[in-house]
Structure formats: C-alpha cells, structure tokens
Amino acid sequence: MDLQTPAAKSPDFVERRKQEKTSDGFERRQFRDGNRSSRPEVAEFAEAIDQYKITHHRRFITFEELYDVMVSLGYHK
C-alpha cells in the first residue's frame, strides 16, 4: 500500500517540512520580516521573539511564551 499523497509523487512537489532554511539561509520560523517598522521598540520586540523561537526550537509560540518574551524585555503590569 502506497501511503504517499498524489502531490508527493509529482516531480514538481517540494517537501518543505524537511527543509529548515530557505534558499537565502534564513529559517522560515522568523517573526520579523526585514525592517517593516521604523519604531526601534517594535524591531527589538520582533528580534526577541525570533531569538526565543530559535533558542527553543519553536516555529510558533503560545501566548504565555509571548508574555515571557515581553517580561524579558522589561514589561510589567
């Protein structure tokens, strides 16, 4: 029994789940996308999220993890 999906049999199919980095060398998990914000605090927050995700090998983070990143940057209520 062949368990491959029809798309996996196609010569044009690219298995992205096994690729960790894109052709430009960056991991797809990154939160920030270039320098879209001119606000330095937003860029710092995006960079902190990226570093958390890379350090903890996470593609997506939970709200609790997001809060932990905010606290690490000095946020408090």
Domain assignments of the chain as residue spans, ordered by start: 20-72
Does residue 11 carry a pLDDT above 90?
A: no
Tokens of residue 67, six digits: 């809060």
Tokens of residue 71, six digits: 């606290």
- pLDDT band, very low/low/confident/very high, at 12 (cuts 50, 70, 90): confident
8 Å CB contact between 12 and 27? no
- What pLDDT, on the 0 to 100 scale, is given for residue 22? 55
Q: Is 27 helix (H, G, I), strand (E, B) or coil?
A: strand
Q: What is the pTM of this model?
A: 0.57
- What are the tens digits of pLDDT across the range 21-71? 555 555 555 666 666 678 888 889 989 999 999 999 998 999 999 999 999
